[in-house]
Amino acid sequence: MTYHVKTALLALAVALPTHALADWNGAYVGFSLGTNTTNELSSNVTGSFEADSSTALGVFGGYTVQNDDFVFGGEVAFLRTPDLEFEVDGREVTFDFGIFDLKGRAGYVVNNILFYGVAGFSRISEQETGDHANGFNFGVGADYNLGNNFVIGIEYLARRAAFEDGIFDVDLDLDTLALRAAFRF
């Protein structure tokens, strides 16, 4: 009988969710390195219109609040994509985009890993022409707390924005997959 009670208690202890080992409360700053892809474009440009992938370099900062295993917060990020290439009717055109993201974050902590989703506002500016597009973003990510306030992670972010009243009108779907490193205060 004692064996069955101990076995049942052990099974219950293993089945209960573990509380977060890391503290996710507070401010953080960091940098990111990733790649952008453009998987869908619609434009008033006639002929073929294709895009390549490009490098994404960025900085970000935010603040999160933890309630048990749930984490909520906000983040501001700025990325630069200096080499986004498009092919328009066989002619290669390179854009230098500056991207500003304002994101809300909500996530769940398992041990030292924060799994999260994001959604928010994006502004994409072409650095040479000054044209800009406003739109929205959404995505998912995971951060791993290394200890001593250092965090590494990965994030996928999709942006949907429209350039209008510029050199040409373009609806841009810009997706970014980035590795991230941050320091928490």
CA distances from 135 to 3, 154, 163 (A): 61, 22, 10
Query: Would you mind telling me the total number of residues written for the chain in this entry?
Result: 185
CA distances from 95 to 82, 129, 145 (A): 7, 9, 35
Please give the domain boundaries of the chain with CATH numbers for all domains: 20-184 (2.40.160.20)
The whole-number pLDDT of residue 12 equals: 45
Residue 69 predicted with pLDDT over 80: yes
**pLDDT tens digits along 95-153:** 778 899 999 999 999 999 999 999 999 998 887 777 888 999 999 999 999 999 999 99
Higher-confidence position of 43 and 169: 169
The whole-number pLDDT of residue 156 equals: 98
Q: Which residue has the tokens 């854009």?
A: 95
Q: Are 82 and 116 in contact (CB under 8 A)?
A: no
The whole-number pLDDT of residue 174 equals: 87
Residue 168 predicted with pLDDT over 80: no
